[in-house]
Structure 1
Amino acid sequence: MRDLLMIPGPVEFEPEVLQALGAPTLGHTDPAFIALFGRALKRMREVCLAPGAQPFVVAGSGTLAMEMAVANLVEPGDRALVVNTGYFSDRMAKILERHGAQVTHVRAAPGDVPSADEVETHLVRGGFKVMTVTHVDTSTAVLTPVEALVRAARKHGVLSVVDGVCATAGESFHQDAWGADVYLTASQKAVGVPPGLALLTVGPRAMEAWRARKTPVASVYSDWAEWLPIMEAYEAGKPAYFATPPVNLVCALEVSLGQILAEGMEARFARHQRMARAFRAAWKALGLRMLPTSDAVAAHTLSAVYYPDGVDAALVGRVKGQGIVVAGGLHPELKARYFRVGHMNRVGPTDVLAAVGAVERALLAAGHRSEPGAAVAAAQASLVAG
């Protein structure tokens, strides 16, 4: 019997997506593949609600998507503001510094987010070229209020780069309407495709800033100049070559994006919110405390939950013994003190109840005192209530 994967990526994938992944591989200049890649690029715009953006689909991880954004927008000496909410904000800062940026952090305590006023105080002082925001930090399950932040960046003439790796297609995001300049993500989370694709939708202001660079992009593989002709050619139905694309992953992406759009973006955002509410009801029934400091800053794509007194990281293994795979902590300061449960992409009520039941049984076996069945009942009540 196969375990149910409930970690914050990779996630469980739809059978049709896996079928596309396992199909015979087409040549990367095959007319059928060119047409399919072109549809995937168009669908990227629709999923990110970014009709005016240029999509990029490149073989690599979410970290490559982060690097592509930075490498193309930042030149040595440029100033960057990092809205820091955890492990992956730190990674973004590291990438910025490697490309020569002077980085200023606006930090919050683990589990919280910097206030919009605090961020704006820095923006008002001027001099920043780029502001980066992690939409959902996978290490802390903190959801950043990106709309207010990217609107503030635009008001002050600063480019906004939003890391949506653990958010895209799961958390509400309207790239064009909110004015986000770059939205980046990876395939293996709410986008619903096995690991291996770095995905970006780049708005007109960011493309203009890139074209106005005074120095070449330091990385050949990350350079939009190498990839833009390829993306434009595929979308126009023409063959082009820079580096061989991961054909089967792109085929799987086209299928998954089609399924996402068939569900509808607002309906999909609402479903993720419903599943998250059910998990929160369960954690409360178990007497557990989430790492995010309030529901307002808690992600809908995953939960980060502190172990109760007397329970340690062995709980993760106990839960796996119940047939559900969850993840341990990741934030360097806290990683031995909490666990994480992913609930994104195809996750529905059955998955929620199975995961909650497994965590509940594992906690009881570890000696945690709670009313047997209370967590499942609380999750079920939340799901019934909608």
Structure 2
Amino acid sequence: MSQPHKLCMIPGPIEFHEDVLDAMSTPATSHVDPLFVPIFGECIELLRKVLLTKDAQPFIVAGSGTLGWDMMVNLVERDDEVLVLNTGYFGDKFAECLEVYGAKVTHLRAPIGDRPSLDELKKALSAKKYKMVTVTHVDTSTGVLSDVKGVAETVKSISPETLVVVDGVCSVGSEEIRFDEWKLDAVITASQKALGVPPGLCIVAVSQQALQVFKTRKTPVAGYYSNWNKWLPIMTAYEARKPAYFATPAVQLIYALLASLKQLTAQSMDTRFDQHRQVSQKFKKAVTDLGLKQLAVSDEVAANGMTAIWLPEGVQVSDIVPSLAAKGVQIAGGLHAECATKYFRIGHMGISVTEPQRGHIDKVIESLTTTLKEVKSKA
């Protein structure tokens, strides 16, 4: 176990395993060192196991998850129609990014705490032809879980050539994702959430259909660092255990990623999905028992890796967050522009879930219970 410290129980970055942190403690290493190249290559292969795909192409690039949005410039061209299924802050920002590259974005929004219905999606797809449909699997601002399987089935049944792009930054590693079975075209994620690695790696996996769209585009890619013409040869080389260079990878983070992916794939993904569901149910029951309500309007639309919780009447974020921090638990305030001051968010992903002997979830529940009693006693 690591040394005592304030638990980071926000919806990412999460708590990191000691072996993952140790893996970063390597001497300065060249990114084309024959000892490093196979580390990178194995990471690419293990990511396919995490996403349950045989032939999707992973990209591992130094940057935040936001870089994954920019990478969609490889798939969209100016004036392409894009439908954004919007469940909060990150749907807004993904759309904003796509508009920078000239996409014509249509939003399909839901009330705070809910998600667009599949019937609404069918209606939108019937009204216009879209190059791409994006869906935020878990919007970290609201804790809403989108029905990615249902979305993909609906899109592909009406318009098979339309690309289904999933923002999985807050879902890969904690929520069920079946890339091949669900016929997804791109999944965007980052290292610091349920993959359990410090921030700094953008990870994107794309289907062969998406790669074909990229390869047959009519105009040059309007990006440099995010351009797959630059990165595809690099990923292909590393997976073949050959050195290559475009931009320097985050060597130590990739060592850490391999350590985490080995842990993650040591069990079946189904087991990991179930662990997160069970802990989520336990945590959400505790929240309900405390008389609190979630932003998510029902269990069906609630994420398994985090919970967004409305503040009790008369209680401020400043009453909750510092009090929990003083008890050794770091949580997050609200993020959605319309109600940021009215709720708070707690993450439950990775080793906090898969290694219950650490006691992270129990400590959060205990600390939250005590804090609420203290707040009420002062009222």
Task: Indicate whether 1:218 and 2:209 are aligned.
Answer: no
Distance of 1:269 and 1:121 partners within structure 2: 31
Find 1:264's aligned residue among 268, 272, 282: 268
8 A Cα contact 1:313 1:339, kept in partner: yes
Task: Indicate whether 1:160 and 2:164 are aligned.
Answer: yes
Match of 1:183, as an amino acid?
V
Find 2:104's aligned residue among 102, 105, 129: 102
SS in structure 2 at match of 1:178? coil
Find 2:299's aligned residue among 295, 299, 303: 295
Q: How far 1:32 sits from its partner (Å)?
A: 1.2
Alignment of structure 1 residues 33-112 onto 2, 5 Å: 33-68=36-71, 70-112=72-114
Q: Deviations over 1:99-137 (max 9, x none)?
A: 101111100001000001101111123421000000000
Task: Indicate whether 1:205 and 2:214 are aligned.
Answer: no
Partner of 1:379: none
Distance of 2:175 and 2:222 partners within structure 1: 33
Q: How far 1:368 sits from its partner (Å)?
A: 6.6
Match of 2:264, as an amino acid?
I
SS in structure 1 at match of 2:181? helix
8 A Cα contact 2:87 2:109, kept in partner: yes
Runs (4+) of structure 1 moved beyond 4 Å? none
8 A Cα contact 1:310 1:367, kept in partner: no
Find 1:28's aligned residue among 23, 26, 31: 31
Q: How far 1:263 sits from its partner (Å)?
A: 2.6
Task: Indicate whether 1:183 and 2:187 are aligned.
Answer: yes
Distance of 1:35 and 1:23 partners within structure 2: 15
Task: Indicate whether 1:339 and 2:339 are aligned.
Answer: no
Once superposed, what is the RMSD of the aligned Cα atoms? 1.1
Distance of 2:377 and 2:209 partners within structure 1: 53
Task: Indicate whether 1:352 and 2:361 are aligned.
Answer: yes
8 A Cα contact 1:79 1:130, kept in partner: yes
Percent identity (aligned): 46
Partner of 1:382: none
8 A Cα contact 2:69 2:98, kept in partner: no
Task: Indicate whether 1:170 and 2:174 are aligned.
Answer: yes
Partner of 2:322: 317
Partner of 1:125: 127
Distance of 1:45 and 1:126 partners within structure 2: 33
Q: Deviations over 1:276-326 (max 9, x none)?
A: 011111011100000000000000000000111121112111111111111
Name structure 2 gaps, 5 residues minimum.
none
8 A Cα contact 2:295 2:310, kept in partner: yes
Question: Does the C-alpha gap of structure 1 residues 252 and 121 become closer, same or farther in structure 2, counting only changes over 3 Å?
Answer: same
8 A Cα contact 1:233 1:240, kept in partner: yes
Distance of 2:205 and 2:40 partners within structure 1: 15
Distance of 1:25 and 1:130 partners within structure 2: 42
8 A Cα contact 1:308 1:368, kept in partner: no
Task: Indicate whether 1:230 and 2:234 are aligned.
Answer: yes
Partner of 1:252: 256
Distance of 1:34 and 1:343 partners within structure 2: 33
Name structure 1 gaps, 5 residues minimum.
370-386
TM-score by length of 1: 0.94
Distance of 2:69 and 2:153 partners within structure 1: 21
Higher mean displacement: 16-25 or 331-340 = 16-25
8 A Cα contact 1:50 1:201, kept in partner: no
TM-score by length of 2: 0.96
Find 2:372's aligned residue among 363, 372, 382: 363
Higher mean displacement: 194-203 or 306-315 = 306-315
Partner of 1:283: 287
